[in-house]
Amino acid sequence: MTKLRLAALLCMPAFAVAAYMDFVFAPEDALQGPVQRIFYLHVSSAIAAYVCFALVLAGSVLYLWRESPRADRLARAAAPVGLLFTSVTFVMGMIWAKPIWNWDPSKTWDARLSSTAVLWAVYAGYVLVRRFAPPGRTAARLAAVVGVVGFVDVPIVHFSVQWWRTLHPQPVIETGALPGSMLAAWMVTLAAVLLLAGTLVATRYATERNREASEARLQRQEMVQLAAEAP
């Protein structure tokens, strides 16, 4: 718990440094102007979502293979965090696209947007299954299947701008097209976002573990009470 609290405390200075790098250190983009600074959080949030969904995949596969409670707990903890960062990616992307490309989602189809919307819907379904399905092995296995199948959309989202014609710009990090100062700002922002994502997943994991322990303790108490009341 001490390590978790330390990680949570480090998130604030990490984002303060990231804000300095994004708004002061990094130069303004010559073509897009100030709105381009959304890039740092937008891309970092997308990567954080990928990482969270990879954890869901790993946890789901391990649960289907060995029915590990820890693996199921990891998937259960990571899915809502991935959904959160997918939502941030969505919002930042739409704010960026409107002034730069005059993009209207009601008129213009975009492969990146559509595949990301599918990704969001799949993991929203995962979260709903875990929340409303009766707890137990059946719900855990159903959610694990969703977690495995849903990850198929992650590479589709990532490579959509290369596979289809889209308004979304082509990758600039992999191609080395990003200037050094902007790359440094993005790397600092990515580190801060990943730190936050990891802290949220770890917090949810600890919460789920404590909840399971409390439920098990209550069940034992009920069994003891029933045994004591039995004639």
For 199-223, the pLDDT digits (tens) are 999 999 999 888 877 766 776 766 6
DSSP 174: T
**Rounded CA separation 18/10 (Å):** 12
**Rounded CA separation 183/196 (Å):** 20
Q: Which of 56-70, 85-99, 118-132 has the lowest mean pLDDT?
A: 85-99
Element (H, E) at 44: helix 38-66
pLDDT band at 183 (very low <50, low <70, confident <90, very high): very high
Q: Is the per-residue pLDDT at 136 higher than 90?
A: no
3-state secondary structure of 168: coil
What pLDDT, on the 0 to 100 scale, is given for residue 36? 85
Average pLDDT of the residues of the chain: 86
Q: Is the per-residue pLDDT at 107 higher than 60?
A: no
**Rounded CA separation 99/32 (Å):** 9
Query: Looking at the whole model, is its pTM more than 0.75?
Result: yes
**Rounded CA separation 67/176 (Å):** 43
For 74-95, the pLDDT digits (tens) are 999 999 999 999 999 988 888 8
Nearest-Å Rg of the Cα atoms of the chain is 21
Count of the separate structural domains present in the chain: 1
- In the numeric block, the tokens 């790098």 are attached to 21
3-state secondary structure of 164: coil
Q: Is the per-residue pLDDT at 48 higher than 80?
A: yes
**Which of residues 168 and 12 earns the better pLDDT score?**
12
The whole-angstrom distance between residue 157's C-alpha and the CA centroid of its chain comes to 14
**Residue range 120-148: average pLDDT?**
88
Here the CATH number for the domain that contains residue 84 is: 1.20.120
pLDDT band at 120 (very low <50, low <70, confident <90, very high): very high
pLDDT band at 170 (very low <50, low <70, confident <90, very high): low
Find residue 29's DSSP bridge partners: 33
**b/e sequence 36-48, b meaning 16+ C-beta within 10 Å:** bbbbbbbbbbbbb
**Residue range 23-49: average pLDDT?**
90
The whole-angstrom distance between residue 70's C-alpha and the CA centroid of its chain comes to 19
Q: Is the per-residue pLDDT at 167 higher than 70?
A: no
Region class of 164: left (phi > 0), else alpha (psi between -120 and 50), else beta = beta
**Rounded CA separation 46/109 (Å):** 20
**Which of residues 125 and 107 earns the better pLDDT score?**
125
Owning domain of residue 202: 2-229
What pLDDT, on the 0 to 100 scale, is given for residue 102? 67
